[in-house]
Amino acid sequence: MPPYLLGLRLGGRRVLVVGGGRVAQRRVPALLAAGAAVVLVSPQVTASLEGLIEAGRLEWRPRRYERGDCAGAWLVQAVTDDAKVNAAVVAEAEAARIWAVRADDAESSPAWTPASGQAGDATVGVLLGGDPRRAAGIRDAVVDGLRSGGLESRHSRRKPAGVALVGGGPGDPGLITVRGRQLLAMADVVVTDRLAPGSLLDELADDVEVIDAAKIPYGRTVTQERINDHLVEQAGQGKFVVRLKGGDPFVFGRGGEEALHCARHGIPVIVVPGITSAVAVPSAAGIPVTHRGVAQEFHVVSAHVPPGHAESTVDWEALGRANGTLVLLMAVERMALIAAALMRYGRSSDTPVAVIQDGTLPGQRTLTATLGSVAGEMAAAGVRPPAIVVVGDVVGVAREIELIRADMGRDP
């Protein structure tokens, strides 16, 4: 007969876990997240469980199971690798009328732990006759559908109020966060910019209004003031507005300005961080912005105005003296002036430089040069925005990786 599925509210209630191996490592964090007072009985524990114990998240009794351990528990998990011990734990729990889960033998287990997942405020649990792999597969399909909005109508969902500032990531639509995609599926209005993943707009319902707030370098642009007004006007009409941006809304994305404007007009704001292109694009090109023994720091710089400009707040002299990695955004048109300033203040002309155009997108390409030659090589190659410039010895790490792969691919 089918099991009766039940959601247990374990806040403050004692749960006994017998066993400290990989199964316990999976189950204990979920029990703690539910607020359970976990008591763990096991002679040894995994490193992850040890970290939770040291943080005071649970009580550990470093010994083997003893009869009487189940006393006072609301739920028992028997997850050792010893069938006899698991059977003894379940027998004691049954005698005390305490629900118990036996990890090694589904048929002998009074209760089963469902494959569970979270999508917003929905908790999904799947039981499939004691087959955990199939249950997990169905769980994943349902959770993915809920997270993308595909399983639930926009109009049946409880929408947030006001404005959500959503970071869309560096370009690849698969790199937007789960939370960002959830909120996008709920939107009545989407205010998008040029660097936001455009293919995500095709997933929107037909009645969602899309407002183009693109800022094209040296071309047509929508002022920031007008964008701010769009947010307040649309949210003021009771619509849920998603401001979809490239990268992270608070990393050179003017998200702070938009949040302030909404706050001044009494509009609630949700901020959903995004994967910033300053780190993601170098990573996509195989360049770590930090690397042991090479760079212990990195600086992210907006180069929308050149060194020496009255509006620049960047200390180019300090960056020229520094040894860390420089990640330059909006630098394409000013690279000659930037390179000259960095060399003037101490950076060697031989410093490696990488320029990654259209990072994480199918057309991604990387140009490598030196600080002394990069401006000329960028001009010759026709590099155009959006592009990220990385200055520093970490550029050589990507080359080293390529050489190792090439060597491994050669016939002996």
pLDDT digits (tens, 9 = 90+) for 211-259: 988 765 555 578 889 999 999 999 999 999 999 999 999 999 899 999 9
Percentage above 70 pLDDT, the chain: 94
Q: At a CB cut-off of 8 Å and minimum separation 6, what does 133 contact? A: none
pLDDT of residue 133: 81
pLDDT digits (tens, 9 = 90+) for 162-176: 999 999 999 999 999
Phi-psi region of 232 (alpha: psi -120 to 50; beta: other; left: phi over 0): alpha
pLDDT-derived band at 157, boundaries 50, 70, 90: low
Neighbouring CB atoms inside 10 A of 345's CB total: 16
With respect to CATH, is domain 160-275 assigned 3.40.1010.10?
yes
Tell me how far CA of residue 43 lies from CA of 67, 80, 282, in angstroms. 15, 11, 45
d(CA 165, CA 31): 32
Produce one character per residue of 90-104: b if its CB has 16 or more CB atoms within 10 Å, e if not.
Answer: bebbeeeebebbbbb
Phi-psi region of 177 (alpha: psi -120 to 50; beta: other; left: phi over 0): beta
d(CA 248, CA 275): 6
Q: What is the DSSP string of 280-293?
A: HHHHHTT--SSBTT
pLDDT of residue 130: 67
Mean pLDDT over residues 78-93, rounded?
A: 97
Mean pLDDT over residues 17-29, rounded?
A: 94
Answer yes or no: are the C-beta atoms of 355 and 303 closer than 8 Å: no
3-class secondary-structure state, position 408: helix
Residue 151, pLDDT > 80, answer no
pLDDT of residue 200: 86
Phi-psi region of 3 (alpha: psi -120 to 50; beta: other; left: phi over 0): beta
How do the domains of the chain map onto residue ranges?
A: 14-112, 114-152, 160-275, 279-401
Instruction: Average the pLDDT over each of 66-70, 194-198, 267-271 and give the range with the smallest value.
Output: 194-198
3-class secondary-structure state, position 243: strand
Fill in the amino acid letter for 379: A
pLDDT of residue 128: 82
Q: How many C-alpha atoms does 388 have within 13 Å on its Cβ side?
A: 29
Tell me the pLDDT of the chain averaged across its residues: 91
pTM of this structure: 0.75
Mean pLDDT over residues 313-327, rounded?
A: 95
pLDDT-derived band at 96, boundaries 50, 70, 90: very high
Burial of residue 74, with CB atoms counted within 10 A of its CB: 0-12 exposed, 13-18 middle, 19 or more buried: middle
Fill in the amino acid letter for 27: R
pLDDT of residue 188: 94
Structure tokens at 131: 């087959």
With respect to CATH, is domain 279-401 assigned 1.10.10.10?
no
Instruction: Average the pLDDT over each of 176-185, 315-324, 347-356 and give the range with the smallest value.
Output: 176-185
pLDDT-derived band at 83, boundaries 50, 70, 90: very high
pLDDT digits (tens, 9 = 90+) for 187-216: 999 999 878 888 888 888 888 999 988 765
d(CA 254, CA 244): 12
* Catalytic center residues: 193, 215
Residue 120, pLDDT > 80, answer no
Torsion of CA 403, 408, 409, 412, to 10 degrees: 120
3-class secondary-structure state, position 207: coil
d(CA 55, CA 272): 28
d(CA 245, CA 194): 8
Residue 79, pLDDT > 90, answer yes
d(CA 106, CA 129): 9
Give the DSSP H/E element, type plus range, for residue 301.
strand 298-302
Mean pLDDT over residues 128-141, rounded?
A: 82
Residue with the bigger pLDDT between 195 and 83: it is: 83
Match 């050589």 to its residue by tokens.
396
* Structure letter (DSSP) for residue 252: S
Q: What is the DSSP string of 179-202?
A: HHHHHHHH-SEEEE-TTS-GGGGG
> Given 3.40.50.720, 3.40.1160.10, 3.40.50.620, 3.10.20.30, which CATH number is that of 14-112?
3.40.50.720
Q: At a CB cut-off of 8 Å and minimum separation 6, what does 175 contact? A: 169, 197, 275, 280, 360
d(CA 400, CA 407): 11
Cis peptide before 386, with omega less than 30 degrees from 0? yes
d(CA 318, CA 331): 18
pLDDT of residue 216: 56
Percentage above 90 pLDDT, the chain: 70
pLDDT of residue 153: 46
Residue 1, pLDDT > 80, answer no
Structure tokens at 233: 């006007």
Residue with the bigger pLDDT between 195 and 411: it is: 195
Closest of 58, 42, 64, 53 to residue 10, by C-alpha: 58
